[in-house]
């Protein structure tokens, strides 16, 4: 058996760079993917999923 696999977190480009490079950590504030955007005229389909970065988690929610 292999090592356990962590769940993949989909981050925005800004948050991905901010988590990789300390000098770019301010880019978390530039992230615009703070909410899910639904596909118009659909039921439950998302056009854009919100950023999965911990800095955008709403209090009391888990991913």
Q: Could you tell me the pLDDT band of residue 11, with boundaries at 50, 70 and 90?
A: confident
Mind listing the pLDDT tens digit for each residue in 28-49? 888 888 888 999 998 889 998 8
Q: What is the mean pLDDT of residues 49-57?
A: 81
Which has the closest alpha carbon to 50: 9, 7, 8? 9
Backbone region of residue 62 per phi and psi (left: phi > 0; alpha: psi in -120 to 50; beta: other values): beta
């Amino acid at each position: 058996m292999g090592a356990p696999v962590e769940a993949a977190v989909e981050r925005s480009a800004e948050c991905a760079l901010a988590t990789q490079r300390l000098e770019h950590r301010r880019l978390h504030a530039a992230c615009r993917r703070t909410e899910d955007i639904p596909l118009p005229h659909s039921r439950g389909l998302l056009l854009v999923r919100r950023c999965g970065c911990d800095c955008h988690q709403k209090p009391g929610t888990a991913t």
